[in-house]
Each structure stands twice: as C-alpha cells, then as structure tokens.
Structure 1
Amino acid sequence: MKAMVVSLPKKIALLLCVAVFYTTGASAYDSVNPERNAAVPPGQIEWKPVFPRALFLNRPEITVMETGGLAGPIEYQDILKNKERAEQGLQSVLLNSDVFALYGKPNARTMGILGQYSLTEIEPIMNEFVKLYDTANGNRKIIPAFYIIYGTCWPAGEIGILSTTIVEQYITFAAERGWYVFLDHQIGKYSVAEATKKLLPFLKYPNVHLALDPEWRTTKPMKEIGSVTAEEINEAQQIIQNYMIEHGIGGRRMLVIHQFNARMIKQRQLVKSNYERVQLIHCSDGFGSPKLKKETYAYNAAAKNIPLKSFKLFLKPMVEGAGYDIPIMKPEEVFSLKPRPYLIMYQ
C-alpha cells in the first residue's frame, strides 16, 4: 500500500492523507449486499445545465390591473415592488452560494467528523475546508454548515433523539457566524411524516434546514438498506410548507434526501420539487473510489425531477473496518460533476 501525499493545510491534510488504494476496491453502495446496487452507466446520462433556472420559483406572472375595485386604482410600480419583495424572500439561498457541511453527531466520536471535535475545535477545521472549496468554486460564495444527526437509528428501528440543549448550542454557534445547520432524521421504524414533524419546531431558527436519510428507514439497521417512497417525500415537503405558513415562518428551507442505492427511493420519478417554500436537495451518498462515487452520482443525476444535487465524501472513520473514500476526491473534482452539486458534506 502507498500513502497519498496531499498538498493542503496541515489540519486538513491530516484528515485527507489517509487515503490509500486497495486491490479489492471499496463499495459506494451497499457493502453488505453488493447485488442490490444499481448504477446507470455515465454514458447513458443526458446532462443539461440546471443553474440558475431551477433555483428560481416557478411563479405565475402578475398582470397589471387598470382598476382596483373598491380599493381604487393599483399602481404598476406597487405591483412590481410587491412581486419583487415576495420573490426575494423565497429565492433559493443557492442562487449565488454553495453550502459546505461537516457531518456527524455531537459528542459521538464514532459518528462523523462533527462528533470528533468540540465546537471551538471544529471552527478552524471548518474554516480550512471552506477555504479549499471557496477557491474551487469561482466567484460563488461558500456558506459553512453543521450537518447534525438529530435522530439516530438504533436496533429494531428505535430512534435516539439528540437533546434540544445540544442542538440549540450548535444552532446558536452557527447563527453567530452566519452558518447553517441541517438536522438529519434517520426515520427508523417510524413514518416519514412522524420523523418530519419531529424536526419542525427547529424551523423557528432562520439558519436551520432539514434532512431525511432513507438508508436507516428500517427495523434492521446495518443489516438492510431502508427506503422511502416518492409519495412520502412529497408529503414531507407539504408538511414543512404547511408548518411554515401556519407559523408565519418566511423564506424557503432546504430538505435533503440521501440516496446511494436504487431501492432507497421508490417510484423516484414521481418525486416533486416544486413546493414554494421547500428547496428539495438530492444527496449522493456512499463511500468508495472516485469511479464508484461518480457512478452513484450519475445514477442520481438521472432524476431530473430533483434537479438540485448534493455530494457526500467520507473521511477515514474512527471505527475499524468502516468504509471511506479511497482516494478522497479534490474540490475541483467535486465541482466538475454534472450537474454540479450545490451542497457538499464531509463525514
């Protein structure tokens, strides 16, 4: 085996230079049951740029009215101002920015990079990663984010919920720095609706976004890959939208759905991504070589009904035998994926 030399800042280099090549390879899909993996050869993917059209609301045009009934004449400029104000609040945060997230469960050293460091320790690490990606994405901005496992799937599909005190510590820390927080629910034995509703109270914080991970929607975690349906994803979006309207929460929020296996999202072609208050993000999950990860991404790219994509990378974990990316892809390689991902996360 030969270690890979990476010319990067010290802290980041220590995290990334663990990559080595194995003759057996590594799976970007289901490492327990490889036969379940279904990838679409990249050559079969017809790619068309999605930016920036998909980032705007598909709203009906407001027409000019000559009279305003009992309210009197309506001025054309007033109509334009109202339309602009409404759309500005709902416009995607991804229009001019990418999001870079560190994934994990706070205080759980075996569950992602976020769990291996305290808040004060993770800040300089975050800043160095952000510098790398800010250099690679041209004149677009980078918004740092914590990607927190809020609901952890336990044996038999039970869910362990992270304490509100810890969640709010991370939300406050992030908000003070202009960072986002994604709260990820692994669903377990519960319904997607139940998992989604558990996350809703945190939407009162303007920097909070939500995520659901179908891999763990199961009563047999680590033994089988879970799944959700298109109908359930659509229902989750509707639940979020209704909650925001009912509670007077402005703007749009992202909802991230993970996938690395064909069975994880059933009837994927029926997933909707046109909810006015929810920005659906399709995350390409799974560890392995760049070749395998690109095949997974190509399979997800085929879902044009979910045009905004995300890409997840895996650092060497603290758990012996757990999978990770070998070698890990560089920021330039990540942004060269088609279509480009707008949310990048490291576990």
Structure 2
Amino acid sequence: MKKYALAILVSSFVFSLFSNCNKSKSDTEESSIKDSIAVKTSPEKKPITAIDTVDYNQRMIALANKDTTGMWPVKAPYPLPGALLPYNRIIAFYGNLYSKRMGVLGEYPKDEMIAKLQGEVAKWQAVDSSVTTIPAFHYIAVSAQSQPGKANRYNMRMPFKQIDTLLSWAKPINALVFLDIQVGHSTVKEEVSQLEEYLALPNVHLGIDPEFSMKSGHVPGKKIGTMSADDINDAIDILARIVREKKLTPKILVVHRFTQGMVTNYKAIKTVPEVQIVMHMDGFGSQVLKRSTYLRYIYREPVQFTGFKLFYKNDNWNDWKIYTPEQLLEFSPKPSYIQFQ
C-alpha cells in the first residue's frame, strides 16, 4: 500500500523550460460577446432570465446518486441562465502543446488527439444519456518551474499564441478551453488577472492547481503545495466580475486536489451564481486508492460539483486498471468533469 500511497501523492508533472513571448490580444467586442451567448428566441418570446429550478433540483439530486448524508447535493445559489452544469458532462484532455510528457493534449498530433477525445466523448454519452457530453481542452497556461526565472515566480507563462491555437482547434468541434495555472511563488490573483482577455470569451474557463502553490517557499515539485479558501475566492471574484461585466453565462472553475492539505478551509469557499466550482480528484494509483481519495477529499468536503482525473498510462501501471465510465457513474456524487492526462 505504501507504493500506492506514494503514487497518488506524486503528480506526473514534468518541468519544462519555455520561452515567454506573450503577445497582445485585442479586446473582444461587447456586441460579438452578446451575439455569441444570446438566447435564440422568436420576436414573440422573451429571453430566458432564470433557470427552471425544478429541473435543476432534480438534476442535482440525480448527480448526488442516492446520497443519504444530506451533504449532497450541496446547498448553493442557483446559477445564471446558460450554466453548463448539471446539464452537461465535460470530457477534457489535459496538457501543454510544448511537451509530450505533461499530458495527452500535447502527446499526440492534433488530428489523432482530437479523434481520441471525440471517442471518449462518444463513450461517455453512450453510457449516460441523461446529460450532454461535451469535449474540452485543459491547457497548462502557466507552468510551475524548478528555477525562479527573472521574475522570481518559479513559473513560466506560456505564449498567448498557444491559447489562440487551442481556440482554433476547439471551434470546429464545439469544445471548451480551460486555462490552468500553476502559480509557483506567484499568486492566484496575479496569474488569473493576466489571462482576463481570454477568460472574457464565452467558451474559456479556468483551472487552478494547489499542488504547485508554494506558500512555504519551497521549489515546486519538491513538496505538495496548498491553497486556502481565500486563494480560491480570488479566482471566483475575478471570474464573477468578468461574467457580470461581459454579460456572459457562468464560468467553471476547476480546483485540483488529492491531499487534505492542498485545500484549506473549504467551507469558506464562495458559491455564487456567476461561477460553478468543480473540486477535481487529481492523482494516479490503484482503483481502491483513487476511490478512497475521492471519498476523503471530494465527497467528505463538499463544495459544489466534482471531477475525476484518469491517467492513460499511470492508472494502467503494474496490476492497476483505469476506471471505466460505468464504474465512475456508480460514485456518489457522480463526477461532472472527467479529465484525461
């Protein structure tokens, strides 16, 4: 069991040095944003200004999957109209285009990767037709580093041209794009703020990774980092402001977690109509160990929605077997976000 415990506590993160060549991006026109999210109605009908709360409640109860503790579904404000959850399940490929070792997103050539992603989407849709399954690219936009760099942040911001590339790949398949940040010695507020122009796009969402938030001053990758509710709330505040200012549908915030210390004071994490929070079970290992981690840190510390990471290689190592959709849908609550690395 010790080797299993070690495996779940070790990320498959690979340090890579990249050139930082951010370019400017022109602001998205207010009218184009409105057009892209406008509810399509006939002249006689009024736009939808509120969700169907009865339907929403029923879907949340279904996600709770017969939980009897009263913890699930989580009591939270209803989302703004157009919310993705709980109406959809997101299937995301994780990684960086500069590295074949950081995740499946950059491991395969574009066409092969997209075909593989679409295959996973189809598999999940066939198993659970109660929701719509949609594809996503979960891209490491800020990578933790083993060296401080000129700014002494112990991270590297990827060039914006990579985000532009992923947006161009996402459009033909109606995929979402998640921008993931590993703050190193920086802060959530500083790193999320430099991505605001992209987060103002309707199909772009956010991921934050406490594993590489080194408040202790350690080098990323040497110890597992931590974020408090205050750090997570900083991200929520920025996303909520963008949604209000740009009149967008709710943003999704994915928070990675696989240890107790990675997220502290979870009860103080805000739930607001503009942002939907996914607490995402990260880490690899045996099925027994991964289920235990999900129960300890996701189920027993409820925030809002849940996610689960699957590793094509590391979850199939030795005598381990990667979870199937059928198996994960037996969990309480059912994960709404599935990430492949």
Task: Indicate conservation of the 8 Å contact 1:199/1:210, yes or no.
Answer: no
SS of the residue 1:326 aligns to? coil
Q: Does residue 203 of the first structure (1) align with residue 202 of the second (2)?
A: no
Q: Which amino acid aligns with 2:333?
A: P
Query: What displacement does 1:249 show?
Result: 4.0
Aligned counterparts of 1:260 and 1:323: Cα–Cα separation in 2: 19
TM-superposition CA deviations, 1:132-186 (whole Å, max 9, x none) = 1112223321000011111000014521122211211111221222110111001
- Equivalent residues in 2 for 1:210-289 (5 A)? 210-218=206-214, 219-246=218-245, 248-273=246-271, 275-289=272-286
Whether 1:50 and 2:76 are equivalent positions in the alignment is: no
Note the 1:1-347 alignment, pairs <5 A.
24-25=3-4, 27=6, 29-31=8-10, 46=69, 49-50=72-73, 56-57=78-79, 87-88=80-81, 91-155=82-146, 156=148, 158-218=154-214, 219-246=218-245, 248-273=246-271, 275-299=272-296, 300-304=298-302, 306-316=303-313, 326-347=320-341
Would the alpha carbon gap of residues 178 and 189 (structure 1) be closer, same or farther in structure 2, given more than 3 Å must change?
Answer: same
CA 1:287–1:217 in 2, change beyond 3 Å: closer, same or farther?
same
**In 1, Cα distance between equivalents of 2:270 and 2:318:** 31
Structure 2 Cα separation of the partners of residues 326 and 220 of structure 1: 31
Q: Helix, strand or coil: the match of 1:262?
A: coil
CA distance in 1, matches of 2:139, 2:10: 24
Compute the TM-score of the two structures, normalised by the length of structure 2: 0.74
Gaps of 5+ in 1: 1-21, 33-44, 58-86
Alpha-carbon deviations, 1:47-76, whole Å to 9, x = none? 65429x76833xxxxxxxxxxxxxxxxxxx
Gap regions ≥5 residues in structure 2 = 12-67
The count of residues paired between Structure 1 and Structure 2 equals 276
Partner deviation per Cα, 1:275-309 (whole Å, 9 max, x = no partner): 221111110111101111011111111122x1200
Identity of aligned residues (%): 28
**Contact 1:256–1:282, Cα closer than 8 Å, also in 2:** yes
Closer, same or farther in 2 for the Cα pair 1:105/1:290, shift >3 Å?
A: same
Q: How much has 1:195 moved relative to structure 2?
A: 1.7
Could you say if the C-alpha distance between residues 166 and 324 of structure 1 is closer, same or farther in structure 2, counting changes exceeding 3 Å? farther
Contact residue 102 and residue 126 of structure 1 kept, 8 A: yes
CA distance in 1, matches of 2:249, 2:328: 28
1:125 deviates by 0.7
Give, in whole Å, the separation in 2 of the partners of 1:198 and 1:295: 36
Alpha-carbon distance between aligned partners in 1 of 2:159 and 2:189, rounded to the nearest angstrom: 20
Residues 277 and 325 of structure 1: is their aligned pair in 2 closer, same or farther, counting only changes over 3 Å?
A: farther
How far apart, CA to CA, are the structure 2 residues paired with 1:27 and 1:345?
21
* CA radius of gyration, larger in: 1
Relative to the length of structure 1, the TM-score reads 0.73
- SS across alignment from 2:291: helix
Give the root-mean-square deviation of aligned CA atoms.
Answer: 2.6
CA contact (8 A) 1:204 1:249 kept: no
Is this contact kept in 1: 2:198–2:204, CA < 8 A?
yes
Q: 1:23 to 1:187 in 2, by over 3 A?
A: closer
Q: Is residue 315–residue 346 contact of structure 1 (8 Å, CA) maintained in 2?
A: yes
